[in-house]
Amino acid sequence: MVQRWALYLRYFPVLTVLVLFQGAGCLVERPSMPTGPAGDTIRVGDTVYVPLEPAWTGFRNPSDVLVGREPFLYVADTDNHRIVMLDLAGRLVGISPPIRRPVALAQDGHFDLLVCAELDTVLPGGRATIGAVFRVKLREAQHDIRRAPIRLAYAEPERPQRRFTAVAVLPDNSYLVARTGPQNTSAIDPDEAVLHVGVDDRLRSPLPTLRPVGVALNAIEGLSGLALSVNGRELVLTQRGQAMHYRVQWLTYATGEASGWRQKFDPTVQSNTLLQPGRFRAPEAAAFDLGGTLYVVDAETDSLYVLSPAGLLVRGYRGEGTYRLRRPSGVTVYNRTLYVADAANGRIVRLRLSTDM
């Protein structure tokens, strides 16, 4: 680790200003009171989700959405190379300094935003773009995201083909990062992994349970999302690997002598939605609510799926007409409202159950 971080310091002495990008979309303030439109709902099971008007637009390929601890809403506005900060009524609070292609967000107990993105840099072989995890230090700027320092948290410049696609914070403020890449023949350090990174932003270890070997449970390929339960004891990963039978996997943390992450469900003794091979096509992200219900968005089926703590599908949403989802890529939940990053439509869609309207 000492050699690795010496390399980081050599190539990344201080990260205060990133290269400016052009073409940011226009965001305007939104009404504070949402309303539900007539129609534009879809029934999956016994309940109906209703989209709230208006949808929040002005984004280009928003890949993730997060309700933070404040709570403010953060959007990874990927093709505009920025993080957009909104209040819960949709009013613009601020826009971050440029961050190259942000794709995933989390927030720790110190109110730092953790952002999976990319970094243009110079390596011994010349200019390169590498995967990186950044910290947006909101507290240092009194939560003014426009002035917040952006610091490099984690990168692996010696493996520039790797990308970081998801991040989730544990109760002790250490965090898990999903890493992807094309080289997975190594038994020691394959590109595909879920990493445990400490509060000091130093790698602790990959999760040994999850390996790019096989096609069944614990096999990983094309990691796209991570979600932790409120108590940090349950972990859900989503992945896009076409050969993977289980593209959404639900793990729990076991304590004792055999401590570590283990699959929550055993297909030899249980049957539920998650254990149906091929049930999900291209799941991009997941989120838990306070009660342990799981929400998953699938970019290929253009759908949101809601699963009980037992892993059973209980309801869903695809949308109709102007509220039809197209390549949803992120989801978060707060106070019985779902926020979906509707990537191909360039917007954030809010959903509530009809019984909560």
SS3 per-residue string spanning the chain: CHHHHHHHHHHCCCCCCCCCCCCCCCCCCCCCCCECCCCCCEECCCCEEEEEEEEECCCCCEEEEEECCCCCEEEEEHHHCEEEEECCCCCEEEECCCCEEEEEEEECCCCCEEEEEEEEEEECCEEEEEEEEEEECCHHHCCCCCCCCEEEEEECCCCCCCEEEEEEECCCCCEEEEEECCCCCCCCCCCCEEEEECCCCCEEEECCCCECCCCCCCECCCEEEEEECCCCCEEEEEECCCCCCCCEEEEEEECCCCCEEEECCCCCCCCCCCCCCCCCCCEEEEEECCCCCEEEEECCCCEEEEECCCCCEEEEECCCHHHCCCCEEEEEEECCEEEEEEHHHCEEEEEEEHHHC
- Integer Cα distance of 253 and 242 in angstroms: 27
Cis (ω within 30 of 0) for the bond into 283?
no
Q: 32-41 pLDDT, tens per residue?
A: 333 333 333 4
Scanning the structure block, which residue is given the tokens 């967000």? 105
Least confident of 12-16, 175-179, 345-349: 12-16
> Taking residues 252-267, what's their average pLDDT?
93
Structure confidence at residue 335 as a pLDDT band (50, 70, 90): very high
Q: 131-179 pLDDT, tens per residue?
A: 999 999 999 999 999 999 999 999 999 999 999 999 999 999 999 999 9
Candidates 84, 47, 44, 49; CA nearest to 68 is 84
How many other C-beta atoms lie within 10 A of the C-beta of residue 43? 12
- The two beta strands, 223-228 and 203-206, are unpaired
- Mean pLDDT across the chain: 89
Candidates 180, 150, 184, 181; CA nearest to 167 is 180
Question: Cα Rg for the chain, rounded, in angstroms?
Answer: 20
CATH topology of domain 2-22+37-356: Neuraminidase (2.120.10)
What pLDDT, on the 0 to 100 scale, is given for residue 48? Answer: 86
Q: 18-73 pLDDT, tens per residue?
A: 333 333 334 534 333 333 333 334 344 456 899 999 999 999 999 999 999 999 99
